[in-house]
Amino acid sequence: MNAAFPGLGTVINVVTVLVGASLGMLVGHRLSERTRSIVTDCLGLTTLLMALLSAWEVTDPGLRAAVGTGAPMLIVLGSLLVGAIVGSALRIEERLEGLAGVIQQRLHRGRSGGEDAHAERERFIEGWLTASLLFCVGPLTILGSLSDGLGRGIDQLALKSVLDGFAALAFASTFGVGVLLSAASVAVVQGLLTIVGVLLGSVLPAAHISALTATGGLLLVAIALRLLRIREIPVGDLLPALVVAPLLTQVVIALR
């Protein structure tokens, strides 16, 4: 599917997230706490499936041919370690939560405080951060946005838009307005990636994209563990790993 203009795929994606989140907020109050909990568990399991499929890119033949048979796993590990060190030093997770908290307070200015307000703030932060990461860290985000910028069509982003719309509906029924705000995250991240595709063309080789996708898959695993209430991994602090992965891949290729 060819786009009428670069960025059309992102526009469609933002609209589906807004529509899905709005519907979720409308019907969310009609669902019991038990139902919303089960819905979140379903999202966690689906996210885990998506994560495993993305992480499997570590076995991509093109990546192995470029860096060697044993190097892809080490590249992903190195990317996560370096990314974690940089992210924790920059306190990315803490800053993201702080930003979400400020936005939530402005959206709910004038409401009563207390424990209910604190719980609402936490729910807002969890919804915005979780939905933003889920919608912005997957392989379809990167590949689809770059493909859109390169003029290769928006098929991948069209598929992602449908998936994100349903996910936003389910998320918003549990987390509320924070999920609605994640549409802004989608617009910024995918918009920037589309611009990168327009400016750089096909500079990023397939091997580098595979390493980035595999690393992003493990970040999705961390999101799934949070959704399933197994472990609260600070995913925000791991985001620099997505930048490190292609850079580290290039270093390994240069040293061969």
Q: List the chain domain ranges.
A: 8-255
Burial of residue 4 (CB within 10 Å: 0-12, 13-18, 19+) is exposed
Q: pLDDT at position 72, please?
A: 96
For residue range 116-131, list pLDDT tens digits in order: 666 777 777 778 877 8
- Whole-structure pTM value: 0.72
Alpha helices (runs of H) in 29-138, residue ranges in sequence order = 33-55, 61-67, 71-90, 92-107, 115-136
Q: pLDDT at position 244, please?
A: 94
Report the distance separating Cα 43 and Cα 47, nearest Å: 6
Main-chain phi, psi angles of 137, to 5 degrees: -105, -10
Q: pLDDT at position 138, please?
A: 63
Residues in the chain with pLDDT values less than 70: 1-4, 28-29, 31, 99-118, 137-139, 200-202
Q: pLDDT at position 127, please?
A: 80
Q: pLDDT at position 178, please?
A: 83
For residue range 98-119, list pLDDT tens digits in order: 766 666 566 555 445 555 666 7
